[in-house]
Amino acid sequence: MNIRPPKLLLPSVFILCALGTAFSAKPNVILMMADDLANEDLSCYGSTRIKTPCLDQLAKEGIKLTNYYAGNPVCSPSRMALLSGSYPARIGWRRGVLGYGFPGKSGMSPRVHTIAEAFRDAGYRTAMSGKWHLGNVNMRPEDQGFDSVYCIYMSNNQNRDMYRNGKLVQKKWDNRLLTETFSQEVIRVIKEKSNKPFFLYVPWSAPHFPADPHPDWHGNSGENKSGKYTDVVNELDTRVGQILSTLKDTGKEKNTIVIFTSDNGRQPGQQGPNDNPSFTGHKWQSLEGGTRVPLIIRYPSKIQANKTNNSLVSAIDLYPTLASVCDVKIELPKDAQRIDGVDVWKNLSEPDTKSARTELIYWHGMGQATAIRKGNWKLFFNYGVNKHDSDPVLSDGYSLHNLKDDPLEANNLAKNHPEKVEDLLKRAKILLTDIYADQLPLGTYPGVILSAPPFKASDVWGKWIK
For the CA atoms of 206, 212, 216, 222, the dihedral, rounded to the nearest 10 degrees, stands at: 100
Do 132 and 142 form a contact (C-beta atoms < 8 A)? Answer: no
Domain boundaries, the chain: 26-349, 359-461
pLDDT reported for residue 396: 56
Task: Give the confidence band of 80 by pLDDT, cuts at 50, 70, 90.
Answer: very high
Pick the more confident residue, 352 or 400: 400
Q: How far apart, in Å, are the Cα atoms of 54 and each of 59, 70, 233, 263, 350?
A: 9, 22, 11, 20, 25
What is the mean pLDDT of the segment spanning 177-202?
97
pLDDT at 227 over 90: no
What is the mean pLDDT of the segment spanning 8-22?
37
pLDDT reported for residue 464: 59
3-state secondary structure the chain: CCCCCCCCHHHHHHHHHHHHHHHHCCCEEEEEEECCCCHHHCHHHCCCCCCCHHHHHHHHHCEEECCEECCCCCHHHHHHHHHHCCCHHHHCCCCCECCEECCCCEECCCCCCCHHHHHHHCCCEEEEEEECCCCCCCCCHHHCCCCEEEEECCCCCCCCCEEECCEEEECCCCHHHHHHHHHHHHHHHHHCCCCCCEEEEEECCCCCCCCCCCCCCCCCCCCCCCCHHHHHHHHHHHHHHHHHHHHHHCCCCCCEEEEEEECCCCCCCCCCCCCCCCCCCCCCCCCHHHHECCEEEECCCCCCCCEEECCCEEHHHHHHHHHHHCCCCCCCCCCCCCCCCCCCHHHHHCCCCCCCCCEEEEECCCCCEEEEEECCEEEECCHHHHHHHCCCCCCCCCEEEECCCCCCCCCCCCCCCHHHHHHHHHHHHHHHHHHHHCCCCCEECCCCCCCCCCCCHHHHHCCCCC
pLDDT at 450 over 50: yes
Determine phi and psi for 100, rounding to 5 degrees: -155, 105
Task: Give the confidence band of 384 by pLDDT, cuts at 50, 70, 90.
Answer: low
What is the mean pLDDT of the segment spanning 361-367?
93
pLDDT reported for residue 332: 96
Ramachandran bin of 46, using left for φ above 0, alpha for ψ from -120 to 50, beta for the remaining angles = left
Task: Give the confidence band of 222 by pLDDT, cuts at 50, 70, 90.
Answer: low
pLDDT reported for residue 458: 62
* β-pair partners for 125: 198
Q: At what angle do helices 178-191 and 228-249 cross, to 10 degrees?
A: 10
Task: Give the confidence band of 449 by pLDDT, cuts at 50, 70, 90.
Answer: confident
| Measured distance CA(385)–CA(429) in Å, rounded | 17
The number of CA neighbours under 13 Å toward the Cβ of 329 is 4
pLDDT at 352 over 90: no
288-324 residue pLDDT tens: 999 999 999 999 989 999 999 999 999 999 999 999 9
pLDDT at 404 over 90: yes
Do 271 and 71 form a contact (C-beta atoms < 8 A)? Answer: no
Task: Give the confidence band of 16 by pLDDT, cuts at 50, 70, 90.
Answer: very low
Task: Give the confidence band of 388 by pLDDT, cuts at 50, 70, 90.
Answer: very low
pLDDT at 62 over 60: yes
pLDDT at 427 over 80: yes
| Measured distance CA(155)–CA(144) in Å, rounded | 19
Task: Give the confidence band of 15 by pLDDT, cuts at 50, 70, 90.
Answer: very low
pLDDT at 416 over 60: yes
Task: Give the confidence band of 104 by pLDDT, cuts at 50, 70, 90.
Answer: confident
Task: Give the confidence band of 25 by pLDDT, cuts at 50, 70, 90.
Answer: confident
What is the architecture, at CATH level 2, of domain 26-349? 3-Layer(aba) Sandwich (3.40)
pLDDT at 221 over 80: no
Mean pLDDT, the chain, rounded, equals 88
pLDDT reported for residue 22: 38
Instruction: Output the pTM of the full model.
Output: 0.91
pLDDT at 393 over 50: no
What is the mean pLDDT of the segment spanning 345-361?
91
Which candidate, 39, 79, 331, places its Cα nearest to that of 205? 79
pLDDT reported for residue 457: 56
Looking at the domain covering 359-461, what would its CATH class be?
A: alpha beta
pLDDT reported for residue 3: 38
Q: Which residues, 6 or more positions from 193, have their beta carbon under 8 angstroms from its beta carbon? A: none
pLDDT reported for residue 402: 97
